[in-house]
A and B are shown apart, each in its own frame.
Chain A
Amino acid sequence: MEKIPILKLGEILLVSIQVDMHDRLAITLQDDLTARIVKDRARGVLIDISSLEMVDSFIGRMLGNIAAMSQALGAQTVVVGMRPAVAITIVELGLSMQNVRTALNVERGIEMLQRAVEESEEDTTHEPSGT
């Protein structure tokens, strides 16, 4: 079956979408990623969409779902590499992507995730114990 590969880099899961996704493939990715976050105890998910020539409402919703589901499982999601023409188009389409964190490229996305992971670790260590 056709699948989008998910790579593991430390506590981060990396996905680079290189194909023109049909809707079922997008749903499969969403399901696979949530399963992998649990299995690999991931703290962050980085989705590279620099190869995507288009983001429509379905793919936008999938990205939002992944961000919300990973959040519920204790992981942060960052979407990176959106093309300028795609950014212009989704704004006119009316997709807000307000629940999805974005970064310009993979490098910045990984920095963002590492910071988020460190912060959430600090939060846990500074929590008062025994209350």
Chain B
Amino acid sequence: MSLPGPETLELKTSEDVVRARQRVRVCMKDQGFGLVDQTKMVTATSELARNAVDYGLGGTMRIESLEEMGRIGIRLVFLDHGPGIPDIDLALTDGYTSGHGLGLGLGGSKRLVNEFEIWSKPDEGTRVTITRWR
């Protein structure tokens, strides 16, 4: 089976967040993920895409299908060039919020995926990579 090539979506408005969710949903379906897996990944997408729009001054989401040692996966990379996160450990704590949210975005998304990686530097931006395997 040939995997679809990676693609990148803009994240600038709250409508873009909806489009990102829908794109991830279709991709997960195409790769044969079950409904619960789809819902978890789509929910994580919504949290991270919103972070990029609201806190990262807009950014992008890269979506990639993977096949490694017979496993099928989807990897998403959320990248923004916003102010960055000064204290990542703190930002990953449930209930911590820098703004108007519930503070579940980062920590919550981490629990919804199999792999979670975050890089952030003040004044340079933030990159969050998540992967879910089938």
A60 at the interface (CB under 8 A from B): yes
Q: Are B22 and A20 in contact (CB under 8 A)?
A: yes
Nearest-Cβ distance from residue B97 to partner chain A, whole angstroms: 10
User: In this complex, what residue of A is CB-closest to B101?
Assistant: A57
Size range of the chain B interface in the assembly = 20 to 34
User: In this complex, what residue of A is CB-closest to B107?
Assistant: A94
B40 at the interface (CB under 8 A from A): yes
Indicate whether A94 sits within 8 Å of B14 (C-beta atoms), given known contacts A20-B22, A53-B39, A89-B36: no
B43 at the interface (CB under 8 A from A): yes
A29-81 at interface with B (beta carbon < 8 Å): 53-58, 60-61
B9 at the interface (CB under 8 A from A): no
Nearest-Cβ distance from residue B25 to partner chain A, whole angstroms: 7
B120 at the interface (CB under 8 A from A): no
Q: Are A22 and B17 in contact (CB under 8 A)?
A: yes
User: In this complex, what residue of A is CB-closest to B35?
Assistant: A85
Give CA–CA (A54, B38) in the complex, Å: 10
Indicate whether A89 sits within 8 Å of B39 (C-beta atoms), given known contacts A53-B25, A60-B102, A94-B94: yes
5 contacts between A and B (CB under 8 A): A53-B42, A54-B42, A56-B43, A89-B112, A92-B112
Binding site for A on B (CB under 8 A): 13-15, 17-18, 21-22, 25, 35-36, 38-40, 42-43, 46-47, 50, 94, 101-102, 104-105, 107-109, 111-112
